[in-house]
Amino acid sequence: MRNLPFEIRLTVDNKKIIIFHASPKKNNLCWYEDRQERFFQEMAEKADADILIYGHTHRPYRKDMGGKVFINAGSVGRPKDGDIRACIALVEITASEVKTEFVRVPYDVEKTALAIIKSGLPPYYAEKLRQGQ
């Protein structure tokens, strides 16, 4: 994980996109949808991007604000919104719009929970996975 880039930047149809884990400057900041508007504005300024795609909290959402698009992609490994299925965000970018679709994919949660326990990690993690928490 240490060898992965902190962020990925690209441009599509003249829209600057940044993809990162938690925030444009910190990898452990919890960024929920109900944060104040000023927080989103500050993150957009730090990111210097039109579209910000991130995760960390494992709760999918999209928020449009001040001409910027904020997308929390959800989680493939441990959704924390009560839905045990994996969640991915499909983002389609054109010159005129940004479309976002959150797709839920079922997988063998019990098999994964048992692998967590077998690996020696605390059973707490397996139980949270089973609950979608």
Give yes or no for a contact between 78 and 58, defined as CB atoms under 8 angstroms apart. Answer: yes
Task: Give backbone dihedrals phi and psi of 117, rounded to 5 degrees, phi first.
Answer: -65, -45
Domain chopping of the chain, boundaries: 7-106
Residue 38 falls in which region: left (phi positive, over 0), alpha (psi -120 to 50) or beta? alpha
pLDDT at 109 over 80: yes
The helix/strand/coil state of 127 is: helix
Alpha-carbon gap, residue 11 to 15, rounded angstroms = 5
pTM flag (> 0.85): yes
pLDDT at 124: 92
Average pLDDT, the chain: 89
For range 78-90, the mean pLDDT: 88
pLDDT at 22 over 80: no
Per residue in 23-32, pLDDT (tens digit) is 777 777 778 7
Give yes or no for a contact between 56 and 19, defined as CB atoms under 8 angstroms apart. Answer: no
Alpha-carbon gap, residue 115 to 109, rounded angstroms = 10
Confidence grade of residue 46 (pLDDT, cut at 50, 70, 90): confident
Alpha-carbon gap, residue 5 to 29, rounded angstroms = 17
Give yes or no for a contact between 62 and 90, defined as CB atoms under 8 angstroms apart. Answer: no
CA distance to 2, 38, 49, 75, 80, per residue, from 26 (Å): 14, 17, 16, 19, 21
Q: What is the CATH number of domain 7-106?
A: 3.60.21.10
